[in-house]
Structure 1
Amino acid sequence: MSDRRWAMFVGSNQCGVQVRVPALKYAENDAREMHALLTDSNIGTFDKDDTRLFLGQRATAADLKAALREIALDSSPSDVLLVYFAGHALVPDWAPQTDAYLGLADLDPTLLRNDPDHGLRMSFLRHDVFELFAGTSFLILDCCHAGAYLANRRQHIPAIDAYGQQMDRHSALLSCPREASSREREQLQHGVLTHELLNALRGAAADADGLVTFNALARHAVEHVTQPTPGHLVPMWGATTTTLTKPSPSRQAIDRPLTPPVGLGKIVPCLNPMEQFAGTVQQLLKRVFKSKERVPAQRHGLDDGGGALERIQAALDAHSAAWVSFAPPNVRILNRTDQFDEVASRPMLEQCLQFVRPGMGSATSLGYLASDAGRHQMLCVPLASTDPAEAPALVFIDPAPALLAMGELLSGTLQAIWAVGVGEDPVYAEVRVLTELRRTFGRLPLTLYDHCLDRYEQLLKSLHMVFQPVIEIALQNHSVSPHSYEALVRRSPADQSAPFTILQIAHAWGDRFIVVRDSILATKAISSYTAANEEARTPRTLPVSINVAVRSLLSDAYVQVIRQAIEEEGLNPHAVMLEISEQDPIHPAVGEEWLQPPHKYFHNRLRHLARELEIGFAVDDFGDGYASLSRMAELPLTQIKVDRSVLHHPLALQEIELVMKVARAALDRGEAAAPRAVIIEGFDNQTDLTLGQLYAVGVRFVQGFGVGPPASAQLRPFDNRDREAIASQIREDLRRTREEL
């Protein structure tokens, strides 16, 4: 466990070389005094061995960058980092006003045009230091253009990793807006902002306990510096719980009323209560799933799934961890890390024993915190169990206090991580954990929603498409042939089963995820099918079916994706068939209002899309979902696909005969030129019905392992032997049926 408090103090009176700005008088002394005060043995909270002071000619961009990067990359969640800078700041003529360079000794504007990273930019501090720092961090800029620090956020660029999403344990105090100037005063012998900071740290901002936090420091500065008014970003608990100095309590500090924050009159959104921890969750997941390599498990008990216990312990910056089972009157250790002391931890385990009992599962409570007279803390996270006699839990000794502030969100995250396991692909694992949090807590912060959507898109784009043929069956060999193909998604081309868990994740998040999922998979299906056709050099392009959810067909964004994909690949629109899952209900979403009955409204929507896109529609999974007969009768469908589950019903033939009648209804009424095609899905060797029985009731199209070549990324040839096998099987089935009669 690290628990280090790092600090960097930088002061530079000069502004590099060849910069025509007056030298400052007090910047270097300001940095020196801030360093002395915060490392003072009586009231300071920083150890001199963990601080660095860069002054004058020794304050170079290269040295400061190296020192800060080393700290950031080796940090842990319990660490603290404070960076203070006093001096000039420069915005070159060619640079945007959303970034500025610190006026360090080696700043040379003539080199920056061709080498923008020659100096130290504020954006470097934000993106390459504080976004990487795992603990709580603070920045104080007493310089011109200080407000540019808040403006140089990444925009319109997908974050590379979880650290780039949000810094929810980072606070900043800036002496002026981005285009304004900071000031020194002769009578103060300091910069105006730093003068008030020193007063605050010496006790003017102390609370009733005689402690000065960053939040109190920032509030004091805003109250006492008026021209220009400093800006401050104090996003969460870290600023209020991290103590900077411990001056003696005073009557002034005790009696001072709390003042409201600066900026009254602004309109700000009401945040989700978990918003302040969104970045911490992302960072925690990255620390757990940062490597695809399996961590060797400590062999002190049951295997925990490839080192999950060790990896979670490291992510929490905890001293030690154990996987235990609470079953009164005993506590049994299932597995533990090397450092876990069962004897010393026994009192805290006994405390948890009265709360964690068999059968309660993880849903009853999202965690407990036990202690032993203030020396150590134990986080206890109950786990779900299928054994009513067991009450498994994870326990962690002295996890980082910064993470404990997450409360139930931390416990819920750990439960989800344990359920997912650490051996998964990192992207897939993150998505699964965030989805479990969504199911547990309901509404998550927007930043976590967007982060999960970004990861989900990456996951979907990594999937592959294979194509399973739909075979037209007949009594004669020459009439047996592929009728069409269905695009099926797989994690790898060799997989035989669909990644149902990945596909169902979208439904836990709602319409946007569903539309994104279907859009990505449809684009992939159309491009992959076009490539497969070109490779196979087929004389004509057979239709391809693509699965789609009801909610996607109601989205104009999805429709545009289909149109664009067909146009870009040069595919005949008539070759595209969208299969609507029978498992999707057809009704308005919460907050929607349809002016027509649901099936009529959706019927009109499909007719509009069929005319506009010139594609066909099918109902998929008949017999395994909502209002099957009414859906078939009322929707403008080109074909009907019967789910394989129907084949195992006791009255399977009667049900298929009913589907055949519904499929012919439009033709019988004179509303169609041909009956709808009925396709039997999932036909295999375990099916009770035979090809002959299906043929006898009018079925002409069958799909599954029992007919034709298996699904693959290529369109495999269908030769005479395949045709003969199917035709002869039908003839033999019919012959046996006649003999039995």
Structure 2
Amino acid sequence: MAPSRRWAVLIGVDQCGCDVQLPPLHYAESDALALRDVLLDQEIGTFDDDAVKMFVGPEATWREIKVFLRDLALESAPSDVLFVYFAGHALVPQWSDQLDAYLVTADLNPGTLPREPDNGLRMSFLKRDIFDAFAGASFLVLDCCHAGLYADADRRNIKVLQTYAEAVDRPRHNALLACPSGSVARESTDYGHGTLTHHVLRALRGRAGDEAGRVSFAQMATFVAEQGMDPPPVHTAHVYGATTVLTQPPMSRHDRQALSSPANPGITRPCLNPLEDQTSSIRQLLGRMFRADMRSAHQSQQGERDGRVELIRHALDAGSAAVVEFVGSNFGVVNRTARFDKDTLSPMLELAAVDAVKHPRATPGYVVSHGVGRQMLCVPLSFAGDRTLTLAVVDPALAQLDMGEPLAVMLRAVWDSDPVADPLQSEMTVLTALRTSFGRLPLKLYDDAFSLYQQLIGSMIMVFQPVVELDQRATGVSVQSFEALARRSDGELRAPWSALRMAHDWGDRFIVERDAILVTKAIHSYAEADAASGWQGTKPLSVNVAVRSLLSDAYINQVSKALAEAGLHPRTLTLEISEQDPITPEPGERWPQEPLVYFHNRLTTLARELRISFAVDDFGVGYASLARMAELPLTQIKVDRAILHHPMALEELTLVAQVARYASDQGQTGQPRTVIVEGFDDDAPVSLYEIFRLGIHHVQGYFSGAVASTTLRELDPAVQERIASLVRGEK
């Protein structure tokens, strides 16, 4: 690992810039110099002489400060430390309603700002372009009026500052601000300093030291906050704020080498995730890829060239990009962005072709270099024999390229989804690809994914597919019940399986949240549709649920709450347990009985307390089907459509019907379990006549006009007659 570099950038400005209607200050410049003396003190300082950069008085110009800070951010490594201090005035432009302010430098000209708003040192620049881009731990001290604007996230719909809350939530970034937004910071003639800086200097000189005399940023900020300042300062200090030492007592050279040890040994933090250092870069790339304002300018590219290629080029700030087909040592461009020149790039493409032949599928991505500063990121997209389809991105931003394998995994997932038409699901697909590739994500990315998945599931609607009761008489053919099915839009026939199954890649929290959102939607939508139908009596409703959700009290509480809110009787609801879900404890989880016994007892208790019913879904494609069907307290058995297409379909359906009647035949229950054949359509190889003769009288699927809809519909008389004729065996 490269040695840690510690940088301090100290800015102090007494005299305001051009035509700034603010009084000059007395101590801002001397405060910056005093802080330098402490940080460079031979006994207690922890910074080297050449690592402290001063911008004081006339030399504090916004352009030079921005260039210097940006260079530090771009060259930073995860072990680096950046400390930024500003003492002076802050200016909030009256022409802007943004929650932003300018730190007043010696050359600030307010008259140019309406036309050239970047001609100054803005708080948003520090946050977005310096601290978000800095790979290591970063610290900010603002001793100026309006300092709290930096962390103000209370006002909504202000785009540039919506991310300020994220800045103070990042464990690598910490801030000490002289006052809340809208308040003033003060100088004190008694102290000969700005009030905040006076207490900062006291803290760093040892007043905030721990048992060993070391002062971390967090200890300094806490000490300052306890000094009774009016208005009070704002401070945020997380893990790195508590473990990064700023000053220390005199010590030996051996002790100085242990400087990186925690300043507060009592702090506990999770083990470092392998992607922790990439979190900021990953989140920045996701923002550029999937935020609507970033995508809008590129949606027009979808016609002539694949919109994904241009979107990827833009997100990586690359010169150009293309999809290239490699066949042996030959290559051809499938689609490209405007500036992709095959002839100029042919030396790199030839090298990439060699790698594609030598190492097919060996890596999610590789980088080809040629000439001075030219680099091409290659991400294999698909394989077919000796043909490899590869995404080639020319000269991507170095900060993006430094992500390495996670970047290749993300781009492959982008390509496998639809970021232009469906950015919500595409972004979730990218995060899920990172999850499955690297096992565990840093907490911030995990929380991002959970919030995103809530939005994805919340965007779905519920449609209701009828379960048809068969009869040889047309008047006996009717809708027995409905099943709620999730769809991305009304009229869509296919279920959004990839979105629904994502939850299983993330674990119980996602599974339970998915099922809780969907059952709530289903119950409320069904109650509204039932009220609008005008039927006498409410027909039963089935909703899918995972095994893990039924083990969660939070999910069960949500079911009860939704039923009460919708005014739906609990007996209306049947929860269908997918046969594809194993009934087994998770690794490290202990159940008090054998799995089926434990789950049986759980369902029995829930059925008694909630007065709802349970069914097994997808019978025939999952785990220990007969055992589950025979031993669990179920009111329905839903047979998967796969059985209909099995060579021994009639024999399997006969067995299901016998098991369904077993408890009733033994006198254990009054009624046999209802058997429902799912997925029946007009092309099914087993006829309604054959199904009915087996004693199975309920069918669900897209056949004879029985369709899923957001409304509840009775069967048309013509449909009833057609189904009855098929049940009678008439063609």
User: Counterpart of 2:363?
Assistant: 365
- Give me the whole-angstrom Cα distance separating, in 1, the residues matched to 2:162 and 2:258: 39
Q: Which amino acid aligns with 1:388?
A: G
Question: 1:394 aligned to 391, 396, 400, which one?
Answer: 391
Q: Give 1:168 deviation, angstroms.
A: 6.2
**Structure 1 residue aligned with 2:277:** 276
Given the superposition, is the C-alpha separation of residues 132 and 537 from structure 1 closer, same or farther in structure 2, using an over 3 Å criterion? farther
Tell me the amino acid that sits aligned with residue 467 of structure 1.
F
Equivalent AA in structure 2 for residue 625 of structure 1: G
**Structure 1 position 496, deviation (Å):** 1.4
Distance, in Å, in 1 between the alignment partners of 2:55 and 2:217 is 28
Q: Alpha-carbon deviations, 1:536-571, whole Å to 9, x = none? A: 111000000001111111111110110000000110
Matches within 5 A, 1:463-478: 463-478=460-475
Q: Secondary structure at the match of 1:688?
A: coil
Answer yes or no: is 1:538 the counterpart of 2:542.
Answer: no
Whole-Å separation in 2 of the counterparts to 1:281 and 1:227: 32
- 2:670 partner SS: coil
What are the equivalent positions in structure 2 for 1:713-724 lying under 5 Å apart? Answer: 713-724=710-721
Tell me how far apart the structure 2 counterparts of residues 634 and 320 of structure 1 sit (CA, whole Å).
61
**What's the RMSD between the two structures over aligned residues?**
5.1
Say which of 714, 719, 731 aligns to 2:728. 731
Aligned to 2:622: 625
**Which of the numbers 491, 503, 510 marks the counterpart of 1:506?**
503
Please state if 1:594 is matched with 2:591. yes
Task: Give yes or no for contact 1:468–1:712 (8 Å, CA) kept in 2.
Answer: yes
Mapped pair 1:318 → 2:322: no
Distance 1:520 1:145, change over 3 A: same
Offset at residue 357 of structure 1 (A): 2.6
2:221 and 2:487 map into 1 onto residues whose CA distance is 62
1:449-485 C-alpha deviation (Å, 9 max, x unpaired): 1111111111111111111111111122332221111
Aligned to 1:461: 458
Q: Give 1:606's aligned residue.
A: 603
Deviation at 1:524, TM superposition (A): 0.5
Q: Decide which of 479, 482, 494 is 1:482's aligned counterpart.
A: 479
The letter for the 2-side match of 1:11 is: V
SS in 2 for 1:541: coil
Would you say 1:427 and 2:424 are equivalent positions? yes
Q: Aligned pair 1:684/2:684, yes or no?
A: no
The alignment partner of 1:678 has SS state of strand
Aligned ranges 1:165-564 → 2 under 5 Å: 165=166, 171=173, 174=176, 259-260=259-260, 263-265=263-265, 266-291=267-292, 293=296, 295-297=299-301, 305-306=306-307, 308-357=308-357, 360-361=360-361, 364-372=362-370, 375-564=372-561
Residue 706 of structure 1: which of 696, 700, 703 is its match? Answer: 703
Call closer, same or farther: CA 1:380–1:233 in 2, change over 3 Å: farther
How many pairs are equivalent?
624
Deviations 1:188-218 (A, max 9, x none): 9x9789999xxxxxxxxxxxxxxxxxxxxxx
Cα 1:358–1:484 change in 2 (3 A) is farther
Per-residue deviation, 1:165: 4.5
Relative to structure 1, is the Cα distance of residues 128 and 503 closer, same or farther in structure 2, using a 3 angstrom cutoff? farther
Whether the aligned pair in 2 keeps the contact of 1:371 and 1:378 (CA below 8 Å) is: yes
Q: CA deviation at 1:321?
A: 2.8
Asked if structure 2 preserves the Cα contact closer than 8 Å seen for 1:10 and 1:54, the reply is no
Aligned: 1:661 with 2:663: no
Contact 1:175 1:229 in 2 (8 A): no
Decide whether the 8 Å contact of 2:704 with 2:722 is kept in 1: no
Contact (CA 8 Å) 1:582, 1:626: kept in 2 or not? yes
TM-score, normalization: structure 1?
0.72
Cα shift at 1:259:
2.9
Give the C-alpha shift of residue 406 in structure 1: 1.8
Task: Call closer, same or farther: CA 1:479–1:418 in 2, change over 3 Å.
Answer: closer
Q: In structure 2, the residue corresponding to 1:322 is in which secondary structure?
A: strand
**Counterpart residue number, 1:638:** 635
Identity over aligned pairs, percent: 40
Work out the CA distance in 1 between the residues paired with 2:614 and 2:546: 12
Q: Check if 1:575 corresponds to 2:599.
A: no
**Per-residue Cα deviation, 1:250-290 (whole angstroms, up to 9, x for no partner):** xxx9xx95732662413332231212322321221221223
Tell me: CA distance 1:613–1:694, structure 2 relative to 1, closer, same or farther (3 Å).
same
SS in 2 for 1:357: helix
Q: Could you tell me how far apart the structure 2 residues matched to 1:263 and 1:147 are? A: 27
Give, in whole Å, the separation in 2 of the partners of 1:650 and 1:227: 74
Is this contact kept in 2: 1:460–1:517, CA < 8 A?
Answer: yes
Match of 1:108 in 2: none
Residue in 2 aligned with 1:25?
Answer: 26
Distance 1:152 1:325 in 2: 50
Q: 2-side partners of 1:169 and 1:313: how far apart?
A: 30
> 1:617, CA displacement in angstroms?
0.6
Contact 1:617 1:638 survives alignment (8 Å):
yes
Return the alpha-carbon distance in structure 1 between the equivalents of residues 499 and 30 of structure 2: 59
Give the conservation status (yes or no) of the 8 Å contact 1:580–1:618.
yes
Shift in CA distance, 323/482, structure 1 to aligned 2, threshold 3 Å: closer
Pairwise CA distance, 1:24: 5.2
Question: Are the equivalent residues in 2 in contact too, given 1:12–1:103 (CA < 8 A)?
Answer: no
Counterpart AA for 1:661: Q
Aligned-pair distance for 1:608?
A: 0.5
2:4 alignment counterpart: none
Does the aligned pair in 1 maintain the 2:101–2:123 contact within 8 Å?
no
SS of 1:383 mapped into structure 2: strand
What SS does the corresponding residue of 1:693 show, helix, strand or coil? helix
User: Relative to 1, partners in 2 of residues 1:324 and 1:722: Cα closer, same or farther, differing over 3 Å?
Assistant: closer
SS at match of 2:299: coil
Residues of 1 paired with 2:624 and 2:156: CA distance? 44
Q: Is the 8 A contact 1:606 1:636 kept in 2?
A: yes
SS of alignment partner, residue 454 of structure 2? helix
- Any conservation in 2 of the 1:473–1:702 contact (CA below 8 Å)? yes
1:501 Cα offset (Å) = 1.2
Task: Show structure 2 runs of 5+ residues with no match.
Answer: 1-8, 17-22, 36-49, 77-81, 92-98, 106-120, 203-213, 226-234, 245-252
Q: For residue 493 of structure 1, give the secondary structure of its aligned residue in structure 2.
A: coil
Distance in 1 (alpha carbons) for counterparts of 2:405 and 2:154: 30
Gaps of 5+ in 1: 1-6, 15-21, 35-41, 56-66, 91-98, 106-123, 197-218, 241-252, 737-741
Aligned in 2, Cα 1:688/1:327: closer, same or farther, shift over 3 Å? closer
- Separation in 2 of the partners of 1:382 and 1:552? 38
Distance of 2:222 and 2:552 partners within structure 1: 52
2:695 aligned counterpart, secondary structure? coil
